[in-house]
Structure 1
Amino acid sequence: MNEKQIRRSIAILPVSSTAKLTGLTPRQLRYYEKFGLVHPCRSQGNQRLYSLNDIDRLLDIKEYLDSKMTMAEVKRVLSKHSYADKAHQTNLSDSAARKIFSNEMLRIGRWNTHDSNNIY
């Protein structure tokens, strides 16, 4: 999994932003979650948070339903896609994870370039 994929999977968008981006109502978002089509993360205050990957999935759901598919058909199609996606993903190696972490820390300024000798 590369850095772009990792960032797309970070759940940061609240229901209001997700509704605006997808054109769905908060009620529809709750219904799709209840039906098991999408699985938003929860904040410490129990607020639903969606990732960019969730947005893509919701737009797919909306498109399928607009084409007159039933909820059961949509769930079946999405489960096949999820299975295929998992089959093509590779595990993130330890060295790749360290590199992503190191790059992120450098990006946010936690480590100075003159302190690079202190890296374990």
Structure 2
Amino acid sequence: MSREIRRTMPLLSMSIVMQLTELSARQIRYYEEHHLIEPHRTEGNRRMFSLNDVDILLEIKDYLEQGMNIAKIKKIFTKKQDPAVAEETNLSDTELRRVMREEMRQAQRMQKSSIRQGDLSRFY
């Protein structure tokens, strides 16, 4: 049996996944409602999760701890699933510089430092 087949096999119940991820059942169901995960259903309609599902839930948890919202997380997962979407959002160097200049101008107008300015300060 290949590694990928083992990782996609629905083996884990909701209670086990809750312990592994430290997420509540409600949170897990919420992510399922938003199609971030799709656990297998048994004949009795119980959710069964694969190791890949657990990895996705842990990744979602990490993104939330970083301050991202569900909409942003959905975009990230969409890009991962469809590489063509990711290619459309790539910016050229010129476009990236224009966006960064505009962000810094807006920050100066508001008399605040740009979020990116701290990241860029090590380069100049």
Whether TM exceeds 0.5 here: the answer is yes
Structure 2 equivalent of residue 57 of structure 1: 56
Which of these two proteins has the greater Rg computed from alpha carbons? 2
How many angstroms does 1:27 deviate by? 0.6
**Runs ≥4 residues deviating over 6 A:** none
In 2: Cα distance, 1:81 partner to 1:54 partner: 15
Alignment gaps of 5+ in structure 1: 85-120
1:8 and 1:64 map into 2 onto residues whose CA distance is: 22
- The normalised TM-score by structure 1 is 0.66
Q: Which runs of 5+ in 2 are unaligned?
A: 84-124
For the residue of structure 1 that corresponds to 2:38, the secondary structure is coil
- Distance in 2 between the 1:63 and 1:47 partners? 26
Cα RMSD (Å) of the superposition? 1.2
- Structure number with the bigger relative contact order (C-alpha 8 A, sep ≥ 6) is 1
- Counterpart mapping for 1:74-113 below 5 A: 74-84=73-83
The equivalent residue for 2:39 is: 40
TM norm structure 2? 0.64
C-alpha separation in 2, matches of 1:61 and 1:30: 13
Aligned residues: 83
**TM-aligned CA deviation for residue 82 of structure 1:** 2.2
Identity of aligned residues (%): 42
Q: Tell me how far apart the structure 2 counterparts of residues 22 and 80 of structure 1 sit (CA, whole Å).
A: 24
